[in-house]
Amino acid sequence: QVTLKESGPGILQPSQTLSLTCSFSGFSLSTSGICVSWIRQPSGKGLEWLATICWEDSKGYNPSLKNRLTISKDTSNNQAFLKITSVDTADTAIYYCARREVYGTPEVMDAWGQGASVTVSS
Amino acid sequence: DIQMTQSPASLSASLGETVTIECRASEDIYSNLAWYQQKPGNSPQLLIYDANSLADGVPSRFSGSGSGTQYSLKINSLQSEDVASYFCQQYNNYLMYTFGAGTKLELK
């Protein structure tokens, strides 16, 4: 069974760095074709893809946020991470991680975590 | 970047009605298109992938179609449990994704 769970600080202040962890089970980020992505959703709004990291350590970033994002992984501990620098209130959102199996069926984000709520406030 | 234009933003329909939601890509995405359903307080759930393939466990009243830049999600015989928000997503490149803005479906 594939599961993912996001964790983060809950609340942080403007200008700080947001650090998020995605802990998962049922798959490995060292397996060919596996990628983990971060997606966020402000309250009442749509989904915004942020970043992706894959088995061979390739990475992709949303161009509108690229300068502030860093994605990484720890394959030994089945975790993926996202850092967002210089946060402001616009970064307040639910943050999700999701798995994609590029060579599988379906080869889309078919497993999502429950989401971690992040509030940026002074 | 590939942009996804989803319409309508909101939709009100009656039980038993057929509803259609559309997504247009800014360039050809070769049917690399998924549809997700999201109910309040829950994570998105996969409905359709590869533009027209039904995900496991999804009722057959849901269907997807389209190619190139134009795609649609159809819900036949609307049920109360279908009240949700729906999002399209392009995945033409495994390191770059875009979601549509979403459609909020309500009962009339």
Residue by residue, pLDDT tens for chain A (122 residues) are: 999 999 999 999 999 999 999 999 999 999 999 999 999 999 999 999 999 999 999 999 999 998 999 999 999 999 999 999 999 999 999 999 999 999 888 889 999 999 999 999 99
Tell me whether residues B53 and A108 touch, CB distance under 8 A. no
Alpha helices (H) along chain A: none
Interface of A with B in 28-57 (CB under 8 A): 35, 37, 39, 46-49, 52, 54
Question: What is the rounded distance in angstroms from the CA atom of residue B23 to the CA atom of residue B34?
Answer: 10
- The pairing of strands A116-120 and A11-12 is parallel
Q: With a cut of 70, which residues of chain B have pLDDT below it? A: none
3-state secondary structure at position B13? strand
Question: What is the rounded distance in angstroms from the CA atom of residue A65 to the CA atom of residue A88?
Answer: 13
Tell me whether residues B46 and A108 touch, CB distance under 8 A. yes
3-state secondary structure at position A81? strand
Question: What is the rounded distance in angstroms from the CA atom of residue A98 to the CA atom of residue A36?
Answer: 6
Q: Please name which of A58, A53, A61 lies closest in space to residue A80, comparing C-alpha atoms.
A: A53
Residues 6+ positions from B74 with CB-CB distance below 8 Å: B18, B19, B20, B21, B62, B63, B64, B65
Mutation target for A interface from B2, B97, B99: give the one with most A CBs within 10 A. B97
Q: Nearest CB to B99: which of A48, A108, A114?
A: A48
Contacts of A114 in chain B (CB under 8 A): 43
Chain A residue at shortest CA distance from B9:
A46
| Beta carbons within 10 angstroms of residue A107's beta carbon | 18
Tell me whether residues B94 and A112 touch, CB distance under 8 A. no
- What pLDDT score was predicted for residue A104? 84
- What pLDDT score was predicted for residue A66? 86
Q: How many angstroms away from the CA of B99 is the closest CA of chain A?
A: 6
